[in-house]
């Protein structure tokens, strides 16, 4: 077994080495992408195995929220992935690694993966000296994302999605509501995930402490952020495309929007709304992932050239001109019941005649993902509580390389 060290690990592999990484990769987040990034640095090619739906159920006791084809498509969108295999086994033996995946090593995080048999899922590769482990990303996991969704569903936070509100925000009220939400989130300590850890006196006053999921806190180092940034200058005279959104609970619809937008030009800038903007638009308990969590996910996608953190919900002419935008892209699919506004945020882009509405080819929305979780809430809850308890031991630790 080879211990991962960013520089010394190069002694064991070269540019012709094929590295295999597998997993469920459900509800894709930056922790998954960081695992793929670290694995990619180990060799010349990264091959990713997407555990099949049935295999995942047998190994984890729960079916994934995204099916195997959706999970594979999202992983293919990662900038560090060379090849994807769909429906791979959860337990990897030496024959599969060498003869089927045709890889030299398998890489995995420094946590132990136990298969349905009760044994180490990578026992044979480890014994053969073909296993490399890397540092697991702390403060993020699929379990915590699903846990937050379950917590919100149990608290009836999504009841407004089945109603057509008559009190939509007008443009003149938007900035005021944004400021109020910012102050409220600071007071509640949302930056430290207090909303989801039982410290919010407003949302959890009638909830028992045993009913609240324990969530880890995410700490971002600049060295890790730098690893996700691939500097690329804007092409002179090129078509600069702009697309924005919250990109919370990242799914296939988001990915296809980025892909289609990038295909329309030479350079794609993605604007990501800050936490208080998302809260103002969608209400409590959004966002489920903080701005930096969401930014790392977008930066890990192969279609992204640059990102604007805390992008304005209403991009002005000055803002767009300063970025050199030639086309603003928006998708046709929207979570209309989630968005609390009654004005056109793209009115200036429309006036500039640079707004293009496109069909991403996917009708999946965040509301659909919430519905999937809701339909299986009882099945999920017991499994997630067990996994979130493990995450509790990892909180308040700086996430670094």
Please indicate, yes or no, if residue 177 is contained in any of the structural domains: no
Q: CA-CA distance, 370 to 65, in Å (whole number)?
A: 10
Which tokens sit at 219?
């700490």
- Percent of the chain whose pLDDT exceeds 70: 74
Give tens-digit pLDDT for 151-167: 778 776 565 554 444 55
pLDDT value for 190? 47
Nearest 5°: phi and psi at 48? Answer: -115, 125
Please indicate, yes or no, if residue 165 is contained in any of the structural domains: no
Its domain, for residue 324, covers: 222-366
Give tens-digit pLDDT for 229-257: 888 899 999 999 999 999 999 999 999 99
* CATH number for position 97: 3.40.50.620
Residue 386 CA, distance from chain mean position: 22
Angle between helices 377-392 and 142-154 (to 10 degrees): 130
Question: Between residues 388 and 148, which one has the greater pLDDT?
Answer: 148
pTM of the model: 0.81
Please indicate, yes or no, if residue 59 is contained in any of the structural domains: yes
State whether 10 and 128 are in the same domain.
Answer: yes
- Percent of the chain whose pLDDT exceeds 90: 48
Residues 254 and 369: beta-carbon distance below 8 Å: no
Confidence of residue 204 (pLDDT cuts 50, 70, 90): very low
- For every residue of 275-339, DSSP letters joined together read HHHHHHHH-TT--SS-HHHHHHHHHTBTT-SEEEET--SS--HHHHHHHT-SEEEEES---TTT-
State whether 124 and 232 are in the same domain.
Answer: no
Give tens-digit pLDDT for 133-146: 888 777 777 877 88
Which residue in the block uniquely carries the two structure tokens 């900035």?
175
pLDDT value for 210? 32
State whether 233 and 125 are in the same domain.
Answer: no
Confidence of residue 319 (pLDDT cuts 50, 70, 90): very high
- 19 DSSP β-pair partners: 46, 105
**Average pLDDT for 81-94:** 96
Residue among 327, 355, 286, 304 nearest 148 (CA): 286
Confidence of residue 339 (pLDDT cuts 50, 70, 90): low
Does the pLDDT of residue 285 top 50, yes or no?
A: yes
Of 107, 134, 161, which closes a domain? Answer: 134
State whether 334 and 236 are in the same domain.
Answer: yes
Please indicate, yes or no, if residue 36 is contained in any of the structural domains: yes
Of 84, 105, 134, which closes a domain? Answer: 134
- 241 DSSP β-pair partners: 268, 327
Coil, strand or helix at 356: strand
State whether 128 and 228 are in the same domain.
Answer: no
Which tokens sit at 54?
């049935």
- Domain tally for the chain? 2
Of 115, 134, 153, which closes a domain? Answer: 134
Pairing verdict, β 327-331 and 240-245 = parallel
Count of Cβ atoms closer than 10 Å to residue 206 Cβ = 7
Count of Cβ atoms closer than 10 Å to residue 33 Cβ = 27
Nearest 5°: phi and psi at 85? Answer: -110, 130
Please indicate, yes or no, if residue 58 is contained in any of the structural domains: yes
Spell out the residues 6+ positions from residue 80 whose beta carbon is closer than 8 angstroms to its own.
33, 36, 37, 39, 40, 46, 300
Please indicate, yes or no, if residue 245 is contained in any of the structural domains: yes
Does the pLDDT of residue 16 top 50, yes or no?
A: yes
Ranges of H-type helices in 14-131: 30-40, 53-60, 68-76, 94-95, 123-127
Give tens-digit pLDDT for 156-197: 656 555 444 455 555 455 556 555 665 555 455 544 443 333
Residues 151 and 213: beta-carbon distance below 8 Å: yes
State whether 126 and 256 are in the same domain.
Answer: no
Any idea how long the chain is?
401
CA distances from 106 to 262, 306, 318 (A): 32, 31, 49
Ranges of H-type helices in 130-170: 142-154
State whether 235 and 120 are in the same domain.
Answer: no
Which DSSP helix (H) or strand (E) runs through 250? none
Average pLDDT, the chain: 80
- 307 DSSP β-pair partners: 270
State whether 130 and 23 are in the same domain.
Answer: yes
Give tens-digit pLDDT for 117-127: 788 899 999 99
Does the pLDDT of residue 316 top 60, yes or no?
A: yes
Residue among 338, 334, 329, 330 nearest 363 (CA): 334
* Least confident segment among 90-104, 126-140, 276-290, 382-396: 382-396
**Average pLDDT for 85-112:** 94
Please indicate, yes or no, if residue 216 is contained in any of the structural domains: no
Please indicate, yes or no, if residue 180 is contained in any of the structural domains: no
């Amino acid at each position: 077994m080879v211990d991962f060290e960013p520089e010394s690990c190069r002694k064991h592999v070269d540019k012709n080495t094929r590295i295999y990484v597998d997993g469920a990769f459900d509800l894709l987040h930056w922790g998954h992408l960081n695992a793929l990034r670290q694995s990619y640095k180990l060799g010349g090619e990264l091959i990713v195995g997407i555990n099949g739906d049935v295999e995942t159920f047998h190994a984890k006791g729960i079916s994934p929220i995204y099916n195997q084809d959706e999970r594979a498509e999202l992983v293919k969108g990662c900038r560090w992935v060379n090849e994807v295999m769909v429906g791979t086994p959860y337990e990897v033996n030496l024959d599969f690694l060498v003869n089927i995946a045709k890889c030299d090593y398998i890489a995995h995080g420094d946590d132990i993966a136990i298969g349905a048999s009760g044994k180490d899922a990578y026992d044979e590769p480890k014994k053969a000296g073909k296993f490399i482990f890397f540092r697991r990303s702390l403060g993020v996991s699929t379990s915590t994302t699903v846990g937050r969704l379950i917590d919100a569903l149990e608290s009836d936070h999504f009841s407004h999605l089945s109603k057509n509100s008559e009190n939509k925000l007008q443009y003149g009220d938007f900035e005021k509501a944004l400021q109020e939400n910012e102050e409220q989130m600071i007071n509640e300590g949302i930056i430290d995930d207090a909303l989801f850890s039982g410290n919010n006196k407003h949302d959890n006053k009638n909830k028992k402490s045993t009913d609240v999921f324990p969530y880890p806190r995410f700490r971002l180092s600049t060295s890790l952020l730098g690893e996700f940034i691939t500097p690329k200058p804007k092409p002179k005279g090129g078509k600069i495309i702009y697309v924005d959104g919250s990109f919370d609970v990242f799914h296939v619809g988001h990915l296809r929007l980025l892909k289609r937008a990038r295909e329309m030009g030479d350079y794609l800038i993605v604007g990501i709304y800050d936490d208080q903007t998302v809260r103002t638009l969608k209400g409590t308990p959004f966002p489920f992932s903080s701005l930096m969590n969401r930014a790392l996910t977008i930066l890990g996608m192969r279609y992204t050239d640059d990102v604007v953190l805390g992008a304005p919900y209403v991009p002005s002419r000055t803002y767009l001109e300063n970025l050199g935008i030639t086309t603003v892209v928006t998708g046709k699919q929207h979570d209309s019941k989630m968005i609390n506004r009654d004005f056109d945020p793209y009115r200036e882009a429309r006036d500039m005649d640079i707004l293009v509405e496109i069909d991403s080819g996917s009708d999946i929305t965040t509301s659909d993902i919430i519905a999937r979780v809701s339909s299986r809430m009882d099945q999920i809850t017991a499994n997630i509580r067990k996994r979130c308890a493990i995450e509790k031991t990892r909180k308040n630790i700086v996430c670094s390389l």
